[in-house]
């Protein structure tokens, strides 16, 4: 994907009062979208814009987010905003900044596989530094599924390491003693973080928004910040480019994180690192950069065709491999008049029903996991579709 980023209008240039930004991160299925909905429902007069980044070709979060009329703008980008300081994110943020009806707050939800640091650096290291104020990084942790070596994922580790506020979510699913242990493990990774326990991501908003906990000095030390600012203003003496990204997106994720870390602690005057555009082929790279590392891939299905309940049940019970860690879907069953919201995180799945309310009937399903056998899984899901509608409307389970 390519995009031209227009220079921001001069009047927006206000470093002291930039748009406050909170980044919500956390591993797959930890409760990020649930938290976003909580924020949108309780924003109390604030106009909050939301940028949602999703992993998988079929965007489902967009449909799962509550809508609050004009007050909220949802930009759904496909791919992963963490794998670069990327065009799509910059462009989306500029759109928010350019809105005539003023937006008070921006919340960015990363994918569950994203490393939050490069996303944070987007707000610190580019022109956005003067237009926005990174308030905090909020990290959701699934108390039931968390383990320190979570899939050996560097991103999962960094989500905690860079979290200013860490919500130990889904405490309803575990004993208090287990949450105590989890808290100790999390403190080991991130000393000094504000750690809160939540169910359904319900947290008093003043504890997570406009808290000013993100300390950019941790990432740009004062002298380096000055040097960086100088570079930013005067590019004549450096080959540093805020417009092009030349790092290798096939980097191993760990190296990738390190790469950014390194840059954040070094004088940028000697680097050809670029905080603005990537000219590589996003359609190709976005689908591969993280996955090559942690082995995560996704399978997306979108069809104007209903599933057969029993076949889908059979698939879940017998054909769903353990390496599918996360799934979500909006499901249309031939036997039901309802719209079914399907979630799977770890071993737990849920299926809730609601009305279609005039929305077109369709089946959308995304499966995410490590080292998935795409052909096999796609073939199994294919078998779940109804070829002919014989029993529509008979009711769930009948």
Ligand X SMILES: Nc1nc2c(ncn2[C@@H]2O[C@H](COP(=O)(O)OP(=O)(O)OP(=O)(O)O)[C@@H](O)[C@H]2O)c(=O)[nH]1
For residue 218, count other CB atoms closer than 10 A to its CB: 11
Q: Which stretch binds ligand X (CB under 6 A): 96-104, 193-201, 290-298, 389-397?
A: 193-201
The answer to the question of residue 31 lying near ligand X (CB under 6 A) is yes
Question: Binding residue for ligand X (CB under 6 A) from 19, 22, 23, 32?
Answer: 32
Residue closest to 301 by CA, chosen among 331, 343, 278 = 331
**Cβ at position 29, least distance to ligand X in Å:** 4
Query: Would the CA dihedral through 264, 269, 271, 272 be positive or negative?
Result: positive
**Cβ at position 58, least distance to ligand X in Å:** 12
Residue closest to 84 by CA, chosen among 245, 320, 239, 206 = 245
The answer to the question of residue 215 lying near ligand X (CB under 6 A) is no
Question: Binding residue for ligand X (CB under 6 A) from 19, 22, 23, 29?
Answer: 29
CB 126 within 8 A of CB 43: no
The answer to the question of residue 77 lying near ligand X (CB under 6 A) is no
Question: Binding residue for ligand X (CB under 6 A) from 1, 12, 161, 173?
Answer: 173
Task: Find where tokens 């976005």 sit.
Answer: 286
The residue ranges of DSSP E strands in 346-394, in sequence order, are 348-354, 363-370
Question: Binding residue for ligand X (CB under 6 A) from 62, 68, 199, 323?
Answer: 199
The answer to the question of residue 172 lying near ligand X (CB under 6 A) is yes
**Cβ at position 317, least distance to ligand X in Å:** 19
Question: Binding residue for ligand X (CB under 6 A) from 22, 72, 169, 300?
Answer: 169
The answer to the question of residue 139 lying near ligand X (CB under 6 A) is no
The answer to the question of residue 18 lying near ligand X (CB under 6 A) is no
Residue 121 or 344 with smaller CB distance to ligand X: 344
**Cβ at position 31, least distance to ligand X in Å:** 4
Question: Binding residue for ligand X (CB under 6 A) from 6, 223, 237, 350?
Answer: 350
Q: Distance between CA atoms of 202 and 205, rounded to whole angstroms?
A: 9
The answer to the question of residue 345 lying near ligand X (CB under 6 A) is yes
Contact positions with ligand X (CB under 6 A) in 48-67: 61
# chain residues binding ligand X, by CB under 6 A: 23
Instruction: Name the pairing type of β-strands 105-109 and 194-197.
Output: unpaired
Residue closest to 268 by CA, chosen among 305, 235, 315, 314 = 235
Residue closest to 117 by CA, chosen among 31, 222, 213, 218 = 218
The answer to the question of residue 354 lying near ligand X (CB under 6 A) is no
Q: Which stretch binds ligand X (CB under 6 A): 11-19, 165-173, 208-216, 375-383?
A: 165-173
Provide the 8-state DSSP code for 307.
B
Residue 65 or 120 with smaller CB distance to ligand X: 65
The runs of H, that is alpha helices, within the chain are 32-41, 61-64, 87-98, 116-125, 154-161, 176-189, 222-233, 253-264, 282-285, 291-294, 309-314, 374-382
Burial of 102 per CB tally in 10 Å (0-12, 13-18, 19+): exposed
Query: Would the CA dihedral through 69, 73, 75, 80 be positive or negative?
Result: negative
The structure tokens listed for 238 are: 């450096």
Question: Binding residue for ligand X (CB under 6 A) from 12, 71, 104, 200?
Answer: 200
Site string for ligand X, 294-333 (x = CB under 6 A): --------------------------------x-x-----
Q: Which stretch binds ligand X (CB under 6 A): 2-10, 40-48, 95-103, 195-203?
A: 195-203
The answer to the question of residue 112 lying near ligand X (CB under 6 A) is yes
Residues engaged in binding ligand X (CB under 6 A):
26, 28-34, 61, 112, 140, 169-170, 172-173, 199-201, 326, 328, 343, 345, 350
């Amino acid at each position: 994907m390519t995009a031209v980023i227009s220079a921001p209008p001069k009047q927006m240039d206000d470093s002291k009062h930039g748009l406050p930004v909170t980044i919500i991160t956390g591993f797959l299925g930890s409760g990020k979208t649930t938290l976003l909905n909580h924020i949108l429902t309780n924003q109390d007069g604030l106009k909050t814009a939301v940028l949602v980044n999703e992993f998988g070709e079929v965007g489902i979060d967009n449909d799962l987010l509550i809508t609050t009329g004009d007050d909220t703008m949802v930009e759904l980008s496909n791919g992963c905003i963490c794998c670069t300081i990327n065009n799509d994110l910059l462009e989306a943020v500029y759109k928010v900044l350019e809105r005539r009806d003023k937006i008070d707050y921006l919340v960015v939800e990363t994918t569950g596989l994203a490393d939050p640091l490069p996303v944070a650096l987007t707000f610190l290291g580019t022109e956005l530094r003067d237009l926005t104020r990174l308030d905090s990084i909020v990290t959701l942790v699934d108390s039931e599924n968390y383990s320190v070596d979570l899939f050996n994922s560097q991103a999962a580790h960094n989500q905690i390491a860079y979290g200013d506020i860490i919500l130990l979510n889904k405490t309803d699913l575990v004993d208090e003693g287990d949450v105590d242990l989890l808290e100790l493990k999390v403190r080991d990774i991130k000393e000094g973080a504000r750690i809160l326990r939540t169910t359904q991501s319900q947290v008093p908003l003043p504890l997570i928004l406009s808290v000013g906990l993100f300390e950019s000095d941790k990432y740009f030390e004062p002298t380096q910040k000055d040097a960086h600012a100088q570079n930013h203003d005067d590019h004549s003496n450096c080959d540093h480019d805020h417009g092009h990204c030349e790092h290798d997106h096939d980097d191993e994720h760990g190296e990738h994180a390190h790469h950014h870390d390194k840059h954040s602690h070094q004088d940028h005057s000697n680097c050809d690192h670029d905080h603005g555009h990537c000219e590589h082929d996003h359609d190709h790279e976005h689908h591969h950069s993280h996955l090559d590392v942690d082995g995560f891939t996704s399978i997306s299905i979108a069809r104007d065709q209903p599933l057969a309940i029993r076949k889908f049940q059979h698939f879940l019970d017998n054909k769903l491999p353990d390496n599918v860690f996360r799934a979500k879907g909006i499901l249309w069953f031939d036997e039901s008049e309802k719209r079914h919201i399907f979630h799977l995180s770890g071993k737990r799945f849920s299926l809730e029903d609601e009305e279609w309310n005039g929305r077109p009937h369709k089946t959308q399903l995304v499966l995410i996991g490590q080292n998935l056998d795409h052909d096999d899984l796609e073939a199994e899901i294919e078998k779940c579709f109804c070829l002919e509608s014989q029993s529509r409307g008979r009711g769930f389970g009948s």
